[in-house]
Structures are given as C-alpha cells and as structure tokens.
Amino acid sequence: MRKLFGILLLLVLLFFTRPMWEEAAGNYIDLSFLDTVDEAVGKVADDTDVSKAFNEARHFTTRISHQLQAIVTESSAVLPEAVAKPDLAQTDSLVAVHNVTLGMSKDEAQQKLGLPLRLMENEYGTDWHSYHQDYQNYVLLSYDEQGEVNGMFTNQDLISSTEGFSMDSSKEEVRGLFGTPLSSLQKGRVQYILDSRDEYDLFETADSYTTVFYDVHEEDTVTAVQVISKELEDNRGEIYAEPSAEIKQGYEFLLFELTNSARIQRQLPLLKWDEATMGTARKHSQDMADQRYFSHTNQQGQSPFDRMKQDGISFFVAGENLAYGQYSAVFAHEGLMNSMGHRENIVKPDFGFLGVGVAFNSDKQPYFTAKFFNR
C-alpha cells in the first residue's frame, strides 16, 4: 500500500510541476505525451477503484519507459573515427587548399582528394564538388570546362600559403598579408557595396578573388577561406544567382554539409538529413519570400514547432535558424556561426536531424530555413 501511495504521489507532483517545465522549455520540448499524466491523476481523484488506477499508472510508466528508450536508441549518433589531416606541401601559390591550387587539373586534384561525394550547383553557375571523410578534411572545388580548378573553399585547417597565411591568422595579420580589402564589387553597370560587418574580407589578387571569413567568437581568427579565379568571378553577371530548382537544392545541401563540417570539428555527432523537415523548411522560406517578411513566426501566428507538428513531424527537441539575403549558402553559414544563438543550434549536441529549405524572392535574394530536431 505504501508503494502504491508513493507512485500516486509521484504522478500528482508531476501534474502540478508541469506548467514550470512548459514555461522553461516550451519552445524546444514537445510535452504532449504528458497529457496522459492528466488523465491518470484525474482517475486517481475521481475513481474509487484504486486497483484500476494503479494498473493504468503502471501502464503509463511502462509506455513512457519504452518511449524514452526509443528516443535514446534513435538519437544516439556515433561520432565517426578521427581521420588524420594531410601533410600540407610547400606551394608557390598565394593560397593552396589541401595541396590543391587554382588551375590544377581535375585528375591531379582528385589524386589528392579522391572522388567527390556530392555535386551542388553554386552561385557561379558551376558545381561545388564536395570532398571529405565523414566531413573531416572538408574541401569544395569547382572546375571550368577544361577540367581545371577555378574555385576552392575550406573551413578546416587545410590551408598552405607562401605568405604564412593559415587558420590561426588573425584579421590584422591577414590584412597585413593581403593588403586593403575591397569595399565593393562591380557587376556589369552595378557596383555592390560589401556589407561585411567585419566578419569577412574580400581581397583581389593577380589571378583571383579571395574571401577570408573570421570567427568573431574566437578573437577574429580565420574560420574559412574561399578562392575564386578572376575569370569565374568576372563571368558572374550579378551578385545573386538566377533562381532555379538546381541552385535551390545546391544551397540546401551545402548548408547541411557546412553544418556537419562545423560539428565534426567540435567532436559532435553528425546530423542526418531529414526530407520531411526539408519540406517544412522550404514552405516557410517560400512564404517569407512571397510575403516579404523575416520571422520565425509566420503571418498566421504559427511558430516553427507548430509548423512541424502540422506536417506530422514528431520531436522532443527542436530549433530553427533563419538567414536572408546572403550571396550563397557559404555566406549564410558563416554569418549564422557568428551569431551566438544560431551558433548554439548548429553545435547543439542534442540535435540528431536537420532539414534545410531555400526560396528566392523577386529580387533573387535567398531565404534560408534550417530546422534542427531529435525524436
């Protein structure tokens, strides 16, 4: 009888503390499964058959135990085995990425990197070829029609340079090496002012445009570098890409890959791509683009979590990142990493799945919605 009383007391305490749980974590935790607690406690108060109430309570605790066990099983991601960084060779180029330089043939580059794991259309009208090993030694390369490298990107410690440029370089050191960064970029008859907010610098060299991204939370040290040949950059007629199904998918998968690349550097489990949540994210990005607003709450008053539930997506923890107006998924990701709240979502250990959706407004500006969750 004392054991029965203890179980009933626990259920009553759970019932009365529920509002505090919802207030503290309501934006992140779906507590709908606790509705059964209301029913069980109500039965204890109204039902004179204590034995029946006890059986229902025991059934409830058993079901919750099974649910929690399923959550742990599904959300337990295995951290990939560590992969060694390649030996970075001396180079005559200003910047080399994983020993690859601009103008190198595709065959030579892939002898160093292996075969790409994914091709993603980029804002230059070419494809980013993605090379990595479980997102370690992460490199993006673009090739011209002759099969020569005309674009490179990495956000990992894979840079070698004749000038001593590295991922440990500070913003001050980088500017000392490369000179004064550009404040604008000419495209046709339009001059675009670069609103970098001191989070990145664009440098023009003899054969390339080099963008160096900084981590404002790590004393403005280098966090990523993108090198684009002058020919490829000059062929880009506008600052924003022409919207298409291919560029939309390219941006979506690239933001997903960059997120995992950031996580693996912090020894966090990799996120799994979730197709259903991508659909939810796409709809929100499209709605923002069509209606010209930028908010986690849509114009029907639905939160990110309301929209997930409406689409039948179950979760016990969830978060959403939004970005708007960046030139590409690379710029969107680097900007999100420099915003502490968004950064916390990107590196949150509790998340196990990610869906990304992109849409474009009539000015060709992209809207990015990234939905993180676990179930």
Which phi and psi angles does 14 have, rounded to 5°?
A: -60, -40
pLDDT band at residue 69 using 50, 70 and 90 as cut-offs: very low
The pLDDT of residue 188 is above 90: no
Q: How large a percentage of the chain has pLDDT more than 90? A: 74
What is the distance between the alpha carbons of residues 317 and 207, in angstroms, rounded to a whole number? 47
pLDDT band at residue 16 using 50, 70 and 90 as cut-offs: very low
How does DSSP assign 94-133, residue by residue?
A: S-EETTB-TT-BHHHHHHHH-S-SEEEE-TTSSEEEEEEE
> HSE-up of 109 (CA within 13 Å, CB side)?
25
Give the 3-state DSSP-derived string for 16-49, with helices as H, strands as E and coil as C.
HHHHHHHHHHCCCCCCHHHHHHHHHHHHHHHCCC
Q: What is the pTM of this model?
A: 0.81
> HSE-up of 77 (CA within 13 Å, CB side)?
21
Give the model confidence (pLDDT) of 110-146 as tens digits: 999 999 999 999 999 999 999 999 999 999 999 999 9
In the block, which residue shows the tokens 């180079």? 91
Give the model confidence (pLDDT) of 20-65 as tens digits: 212 222 244 333 333 333 333 332 333 334 344 434 444 443 344 4
For residue 309 the two structure tokens come to 């539930």
Give the model confidence (pLDDT) of 105-117 as tens digits: 999 999 999 999 9
Average pLDDT of the residues in 15-24: 25
Please report, as a single letter, which amino acid is at residue 46.
D
Model pLDDT, residue 164: 86
Q: How far is CA 315 from CA 107, 134, 311, 374, in A?
A: 44, 25, 12, 5
Provide the H-helix boundaries in the chain: 2-25, 35-46, 50-75, 106-113, 171-178, 230-234, 245-265, 275-291, 304-310, 329-337, 340-346
Q: How far is CA 370 from CA 214, 297, 323, 365, in A?
A: 22, 14, 9, 16
Which phi and psi angles does 11 have, rounded to 5°?
A: -65, -40
**Least-confidence region, from 13-17, 257-261, 286-290:** 13-17
Residue 210's beta-bridge partner residues?
Answer: 203, 227
Give the model confidence (pLDDT) of 204-231 as tens digits: 998 999 999 999 999 999 999 999 999 9
Model pLDDT, residue 93: 82
Residue in 96, 127, 101, 133 with CA at minimum distance from that of residue 114: 133
